[in-house]
Amino acid sequence: MIRILSAAITIFAIALFTQAATAQETPSGSSTNTVDPAVARLLEKAAARGDGALETVTSIAIEADPDNAEAIRALAQSLASKTVEAPAVANVAAGPAPDDVGETASTVEPTGSFWTFSGWDGEVELSANRYTGNTDQMGLGLGVAAAKDVERWKHELRGLVEFEENDDETTKQRFLAGYDLNYTFNHRLYVFGNLLYEDDRFGGYDYRFSETVGLGYKVIENDSFGWNVEAGPGARHTNVENGGLETEFVGLLGSKFHWQINERSVVTHNYAMFIGSDRTTIDTTAALKLKINGALSARFSYNYRYDSNVPFDTKKTDTATKAALVYDF
How far apart (Å, rounded) are the C-alpha atoms in residues 194 and 230? 11
Contact (Cβ atoms closer than 8 angstroms) between residue 250 and residue 274: yes
Counting beta carbons within 10 angstroms of the beta carbon of residue 318, is it exposed (0 to 12), middle (13 to 18) or buried (19 or more)?
buried
Contact (Cβ atoms closer than 8 angstroms) between residue 234 and residue 274: yes
How far apart (Å, rounded) are the C-alpha atoms in residues 9 and 249? 10
Helix H or strand E segment including 150? strand 138-150
73-97 pLDDT, tens digit each: 888 888 877 665 555 555 554 554 4
103-146 pLDDT, tens digit each: 443 344 445 566 666 789 999 999 999 999 988 889 999 999 99
Instruction: Determine whether domain 121-328 maps to CATH 2.40.160.40.
Output: yes
How far apart, in Å, are the Cα atoms of 258 and each of 169, 180, 261? 38, 18, 9
Instruction: Give the single-character DSSP code of 53.
Output: H
Indicate the domain borders of the chain. 31-105, 121-328
Contact (Cβ atoms closer than 8 angstroms) between residue 242 and residue 218: no
How far apart (Å, rounded) are the C-alpha atoms in residues 119 and 111? 5
Contact (Cβ atoms closer than 8 angstroms) between residue 208 and residue 190: no
Residue 240 is predicted with a pLDDT of: 78
